[in-house]
A and B are shown apart, each in its own frame.
Chain A
Amino acid sequence: MLEYVWLIPLFPAIGFVINGFLGRRLGKKVVSWVGPSAIGLSFLTSILIFFELIERAPSERLFEKVIFDWVVSGTFQTVVGYQIDPLSILMALVVTGVSFFIHIYSVGYMHDDQGFARYFTYLNLFVFMMLNLILANNFLLMFVGWEGVGLCSYLLIGFWYEKDSASDDGKKVFVVNRVGDFGFLLGMFLLFTSLGKNGIWSLDFTEVFANANKLDPATVTAITILLFVGACGKSAQIPLYVWLPDAMEGPTPVSSLIHAATMVTAGVYMVARCNVLYTLAPVSMAIVAIVGVATAIYTASIGFCQNDIKKVLAYSTISQLGYMFLGVGVGAFSAGIFHLMTHAFFKGLLFLGAGSVMHALSGELDMRKMGALRKKIPVTFWTFFIATLAIAGVPGLSGFFSKDEILWQAFSSSHGHVLLWLVGAIAAGMTAFYMFRAVFLTFFGESRVDHHVAHHIHESPKIMTVPLMVLAILSVIGGYVGIPHVLGGANHMHEFLAPVMGGGAEPAKAHAGISLISQAWASSGEAGGPSAALEIALMVTSVIIALIGIGIAYLFYVKNPALPKALAERWKGLYKLIFNKYYIDELYEILFINSLKRLGTGLWRGFDEFIIDGTVNGIAYLIGWISSGLRKIQTGLVQNYAFSMVIGAVILAGYYVIRAIFY
């Protein structure tokens, strides 16, 4: 079965071709079968391959299938080839699985849309590109997927291109992503040339990672930082996070699939894939962790004041991505991937739930015009609520396990730091607050729905609610593959990924913070030693922080709805600052956009119009001017021409004659 890995990306490609070229002629019915079933088939293939892979011994869980030679140039050779190992198959399962349910949901959600076939064409293309990204066995093919998903993201954000805001935001997303991609490219070039100096002209993962230790530390640091710039672009981290909130202009299932569950996690995946390189560069790891945790807390704070339900979820996504980077940054690569997986479930679900709310309210996005929807759309409410519990880190749900794994590693790993843990934990409380704020505003309290909308509030059809329920189940049980040892689990996730994450963090070395606290704990005599007791203590702490967040949200938005307004009045300046997203968009506009515009205008006016055009036009004018004088020579009288010929002949002959005489 491993031989057939190429089937996984092939099915979406076929779906893309059928929907793209024949979709309009085949009609909605056929398209709505082709789109999801293409993904379903590759989901099935992934499952079969997964089960075959776990049959093998952990050390033999690597399989590469070369499809064809792609670039062959001298000693350099790169192929189109796919690689199956625990990391890539896990990603493939998550991507195809979540995509499958979102495709089904989309059939219901997009049912009345004019561009039905176009929508599924893009969506299938996206899945194809995403699978290329995660299954590639070399950097170059990965980059193809990397760019491909960016393209699909652009196409789908601008899906309703007749709306100005949609096409503008699509462009913004594309441009910001290009900045990151540029970093990725540079990193790849640097990696290629510096490995080439050691005689290894290759971009294949296995070869690169096997020879990574031949690179000197400074180079590895530069490479990994450049690659991380790429990850920042794709995964919306500071300073390139600004595009993700704008990506919400697309259809909601797109936000769910691309801008929450799959594409935006590509950066995390890439860092995890390059864990060998990152382990060699502690400085880069620290940068990754700090950027991650800063993004986590910073965007969580923006989430406080957003009124658009999708924007709240967008900032929440950025914040959760920050967590993943915190995880991989402290060397807990498998924890980062674990959170990636659980996040794909619950955040995909949250977006689909938001889509279902919009569906019920005729497209309303503003949470100030919602409320009391709990009874009217019960399925949406319960699934949304479960996802919220999961993201808030309530014990027993998937988000709790993955988030806590990251926080624990941030505290205990040799790359970690107490501050990283502290900020992460506070951000977790903030997450709980703004997510419950969204739930309370949307589903509880007084109804603030417009009257004419209120008449036809209705639960979504089965085709939309069933995916919600499936994802809700996954959000609950998704964490049980990675229950930490301290809670009596086996942490299958970590074990499974261990062969790929060979260079991951070593078990906690006693650094100052730990040894200090663990001594205090040692006396209490808990089972499992001081470290286990500490882990449980941290777990309890983060749960308490999350509960505090939930409690405050309850107080603000259910118990005493006047309170937030009063607070906003009280801290007017701060509220305005956060409400306007710290004016970062405006700042970027001044710093980068305007200066680039001015530079562009300068180049256009000064260089292009004046120098280039001036040179060309000047030469043309000069020639014209000379010619207008010289054309008088052409009299039209043959005898004049003949005369000049004679003169020429005489001069030539005269020259030779004179030369013959005098020399």
Chain B
Amino acid sequence: MTIPSVPPVLYLILSGMLFTIGVIGALTRRNAIVVFICIEMMLNAVNLTFITLSRFLQSMDGVLFAFFVMTVAAAEAAVGLAIFVMIYRSRETINVDEVNLLKW
């Protein structure tokens, strides 16, 4: 039994949907951790695009990029979560609309 191959355009559509959900989440949610998760989702949407097109174009470049993105995302997660911990310790909240001192 052969698994019918999924046309790449579906993957791209999925990727676009994931990205859009990520953007909307990142822009609208107040909890910094959720915002952060949404950003991760956007990154993974991009990764999906990379891998899809890599497969489609028979090139390893996209895969390579996906690895880089994952590495950066991992580093970012570590730093980002550490910052959240520090913010919480000093302000007892991680709501992004309450952390708005950096303005006029």
Contacts and interface: CB of A to CB of B under 8 A. Distances in A.
Interface of A: 631-632, 634-639, 642-643, 646
B74 interface: no
Nearest to B24: A646
A631 B104 contact: yes
Contacts of B92: none
A371 B96 CA distance: 101
Contact of A646 (B27, B35, B97, B102): B27
Contacts of A631: 104
B103 A634 contact: yes
B9 to A, nearest CB: 16
A577 to B, nearest CB: 75
A627 to B, nearest CB: 10
B27 A643 contact: yes
A643 B23 CA distance: 9
B26 interface: yes
Contact of A636 (B23, B26, B28, B100): B100
B104 A639 contact: no
B102 A639 contact: no
Given A642-B26, A646-B23, A646-B27, A636 B96 contact: no
Contacts of A642: 26-27
Given A646-B23, A646-B27, A639 B97 contact: yes
Given A636-B103, A638-B96, A639-B26, 20 more contacts: A631-B104, A632-B104, A634-B102, A634-B103, A634-B104, A635-B100, A636-B100, A636-B101, A636-B102, A637-B97, A637-B100, A638-B99, A639-B27, A639-B28, A639-B96, A639-B97, A642-B26, A643-B27, A646-B23, A646-B27
Interface of A is mostly: helix
A312 B28 CA distance: 97
Contacts of B101: 636
26 contacts: A631-B104, A632-B104, A634-B102, A634-B103, A634-B104, A635-B100, A635-B103, A636-B101, A636-B102, A636-B103, A637-B96, A637-B97, A637-B100, A638-B96, A638-B99, A639-B26, A639-B27, A639-B28, A639-B35, A639-B96, A639-B97, A642-B26, A642-B27, A643-B27, A646-B23, A646-B27
A178 B81 CA distance: 74
Contacts of B26: 639, 642
Interface string B16-54: 000000010011100000010000000000000000000
Contacts of A632: 104
Contacts of A634: 102-104
B101 to A, nearest CB: 6
A632 to B, nearest CB: 7
A656 to B, nearest CB: 15
Interface in B50-104: 96-97, 99-104
A555 B45 CA distance: 122
B11 to A, nearest CB: 19
A632 B104 CA distance: 7
Contacts of B35: 639
A634 B101 CA distance: 10
A197 B104 CA distance: 66
Contacts of A643: 27
Contacts of B27: 639, 642-643, 646
Contacts of A646: 23, 27
B20 to A, nearest CB: 10
Nearest to B28: A639
Which of A632, A634, A635, A639: most chain B CB closer than 10 A? A639
B77 to A, nearest CB: 17
A606 to B, nearest CB: 39
A566 B104 CA distance: 88
B29 to A, nearest CB: 8
Which of B23, B28, B35, B101: most chain A CB closer than 10 A? B23
Contacts of A639: 26-28, 35, 96-97
Contacts of B99: 638
Please list the 10 inter-chain residue pairs (A to B) with the smallest Cβ-Cβ separation, ordered nearest first: A636-B103, A636-B100, A631-B104, A636-B102, A634-B103, A637-B100, A643-B27, A639-B27, A634-B104, A638-B96
Which of B35, B97, B99, B101: most chain A CB closer than 10 A? B97
B84 to A, nearest CB: 13
B49 to A, nearest CB: 14
Nearest to A628: B104
Contacts of B100: 635-637
Contacts of A637: 96-97, 100
A635 B98 CA distance: 11
Contacts of B96: 637-639
B70 to A, nearest CB: 22
Contacts of B97: 637, 639
A629 to B, nearest CB: 11
A635 B23 CA distance: 20
Nearest to A632: B104
Nearest to A643: B27
Nearest to B96: A638
Contacts of B23: 646
Which of B27, B28, B96: most chain A CB closer than 10 A? B27
Nearest to A649: B23
A636 B98 CA distance: 9
A632 B96 CA distance: 19
Nearest to B32: A638
B76 to A, nearest CB: 15
Nearest to A631: B104
Contacts of A638: 96, 99
A631 B27 CA distance: 21
Nearest to A639: B27
B18 to A, nearest CB: 15
A642 B96 CA distance: 12
Contacts of B103: 634-636
A328 B69 CA distance: 93
A638 B102 CA distance: 9
Nearest to B103: A636
A637 B97 CA distance: 6
B24 to A, nearest CB: 9
Contacts of B28: 639
A634 to B, nearest CB: 5
A643 B29 CA distance: 12
A632 B103 CA distance: 8
A636 B95 CA distance: 13
A203 B101 CA distance: 71
A638 B30 CA distance: 10
A365 to B, nearest CB: 73
Nearest to B30: A639
